[in-house]
Amino acid sequence: MLNRKNWHEKHHETLEFGNRLADAVANSMGSWRFIIVQTVLVVLWMGLNTMAFIQHWDVYPFILLNLVFSTQAAYAAPIIMMSQNRQNERDRIHAQADYQTNIEAKLEIEALATKLNNIEVDKLDKIIKMLEKMEK
């Protein structure tokens, strides 16, 4: 059995570890799961700091929480942009491959059309010869 890989599998194999990591981070941060987990953590953080009876490690206005979000955004934005840039490059290469496939298909269709036209011409020539023989 032949092991044929599609275009996406071949492209994925060429990615370096950093590129794969950036894609994984971008995919996870762009999911509902991430939003829900982060929302739960923020609500817990704020709730525990607001209602803590013994120790408030980040009192209102939650400056430490803001620092955590700023740090997350500082790292998330470039990672997501790296993933988007690579996606754009992948789309460009894929579009070029599609274009090349379309050109090859067009050439094959034109060759088939020429062959069919030649077959039709040969048939018409034979019919004309048969009619000429019948007239004689």
pLDDT tens per residue across span 117-127: 999 988 988 88
Q: What is the pLDDT of residue 8?
A: 66
Q: What is the pLDDT of residue 100?
A: 94
Task: Tell whether 8 is covered by a domain.
Answer: no
pLDDT of 115 higher than 90 = yes
Task: Tell whether 44 is covered by a domain.
Answer: yes
pLDDT of 23 higher than 90 = no
Number of domains in the chain: 1
Greater confidence, 1 or 133? Answer: 133
Task: Tell whether 71 is covered by a domain.
Answer: yes
- Sort 61 into a burial class: Cβ within 10 Å, 0-12 / 13-18 / 19+: exposed
Task: Tell whether 131 is covered by a domain.
Answer: yes
pLDDT tens profile 40-98: 999 998 888 888 767 778 887 889 999 999 999 999 999 989 888 888 988 998 899 89
Task: Tell whether 6 is covered by a domain.
Answer: no
Task: Tell whether 31 is covered by a domain.
Answer: yes
Assigned token pair, 33:
């799961």
Secondary structure (H, E, C), 18-75: HHHHHHHHHHHHCCHHHHHHHHHHHHHHHHHHHHCCCCCCCCCCCHHHHHHHHHHHHH
CA separation for the pair 6, 16 (Å, rounded): 19
Q: Which domain holds residue 53?
A: 16-135
Q: What is the pLDDT of residue 53?
A: 65
pTM of the model as a whole: 0.61
Task: Tell whether 11 is covered by a domain.
Answer: no
The answer to whether residues 78 and 65 touch, using CB atoms and an 8 Å cutoff, is no
Burial profile 10-45: b = 16 or more Cβ within 10 angstroms, e = fewer: ebeeeeeeeeeebbebbeebeeeeeeeeeeeeeeeb
pLDDT of 2 higher than 70 = no
pLDDT of 1 higher than 60 = no
Query: What confidence tier does 103 reach under pLDDT thresholds 50, 70, 90?
Result: very high
Task: Tell whether 9 is covered by a domain.
Answer: no
